[in-house]
Amino acid sequence: MFNKIRKKGHRKASKSDGAETPIPTNNAAPNPDVTVNHASRTAGAPSQLLSLDCLGHGSGVVEVLPLLKEIPLSERHALFIRKLQICCASFDFSDTLKNAREKEIKRQTLNELIELVQSGSSKMNEIMQEGLVKMISINVFRCLPPAMHENTGSESGDPDEDEMFTDPSWPHLQLVYELLLRYVVSPDMDTKIAKRYLDHSFVLKLLDLFDSEDAREREYLKTILHRIYGKFMVHRPFIRKAINDVFYRFLFETERHSGICELLEILGSIINGFALPMKEEHKLFLVRALIPLHKAKCVASYHQQLSYCITQFVEKDYRLADIVIRGLLKYWPVTNCGKEVLFLGELEDVLEATQSEEFRRCMVPLFRQVARSINSSHFQ
């Protein structure tokens, strides 16, 4: 009798399963391994496909789906969500042969999404945009590998002399970053909707990735964050404060960070757009964050960008010259001749933008320092 009940219950379950969509959710399978299905040419649109709960690590089935442009408009929403689910699958890119077919399917899917967003041929609704940002977050927001100096215990040296780190997953990550960039710069994007998902938490996680040792990733992050700053005015004060906090942690805690140079490049453009009269918060940022960056041991790795930011402040408001020159004198190197040469070059640029009144205020300590530099045994 018990066996009959079990068989009957099993038949009912399989019958109801036939009415469900064949896409698994997070709770659908205890085995996280990714499988491949072939040639699923139909993209039905049951209501369950509209849910974004299926997006997550290892939750998707990597299958060959029809192109979005090949199916009716009424079915594109559901198929778009399924493609996002495929792109959420994670793989080990250190082994090129492992899951090679699944990686290729994901690569083709990402390329299709990039083309879709770039062309603007299919306007995304709010659910599709939320799913897109969630998929991108799953792929790019990750724990970064230990830095080279953390493995060796050495100080960060000349970046030109160090072997450049290359992330084995970069060919895949580049597509995800390209998709995010195309989404941010798309003229069809509604900022009122997008700011709900490209929020403060998203910006903070982007800033954490600036510590990546892969210069190619930092270059994409620099471009994307700059575009977000330009497009979302509501985020601008928060982004400036968050970059300020990164500098504080670098100066007073870690003294190591891979992305200071790229963050300063963003700031150089931001400072160039400051309106006059300059706000007090911008002047405080100069005094509390930018000028103290001169004291770091690795200042040579980002000095060109730092000098540009400092000079921009003085060119915007010549009255800041006295503050800047005294700040340079405060952090003037004593035993590092190479660093002193950098300071002399920056001082020359600042003096070119200085008016006579500000120069008279600081000329006594300035010439004392110049005299010490002239008496130095260093040939330069």
Q: Which tens digits make up the pLDDT trace of 305-362?
A: 999 999 999 999 999 999 999 999 999 998 888 899 999 999 999 999 999 999 999 9
- The pLDDT assigned to 330 comes to 95
Q: Range of 133's domain?
A: 64-142+166-190
Q: Is residue 124 part of a domain?
A: yes
Question: What is the band of 167 on the pLDDT scale with cuts at 50, 70, 90?
Answer: confident
pLDDT band, very low/low/confident/very high, at 363 (cuts 50, 70, 90): very high
Tell me whether residue 96 is in a domain. yes
Give the pLDDT of residue 282. 95
- Spell out a b/e string for 262-301, using b for 16 or more CB atoms within 10 Å of the CB, else e: bbbbbbbebbeeeeeebeeebeebbeebbbbbbebebbbb
Tell me the pLDDT band of 294, cut-offs 50, 70 and 90. very high
- Domain membership of residue 174 (yes or no) is yes
Query: Is 176 a member of any domain?
Result: yes
**Residue 70 within a domain:** yes
Using alpha carbons, select from 109, 105, 57, 59 the residue that is nearest to residue 83: 109
Residue 111 placed within a domain: yes
pLDDT bracket for residue 48 (50, 70, 90): very low
Whether 235 is in a domain gets the answer no
Confidence at residue 19, expressed as pLDDT on a 0 to 100 scale? 38
Which pLDDT score, from 0 to 100, does residue 56 have?
60
- What percentage of the chain exceeds 90 in pLDDT? 58
Once rounded to an integer, what is the mean pLDDT over residues 261-270?
97
pLDDT mean across residues, the chain:
82
Is 259 a domain residue? Answer: no
Number of structural domains found in the chain: 1
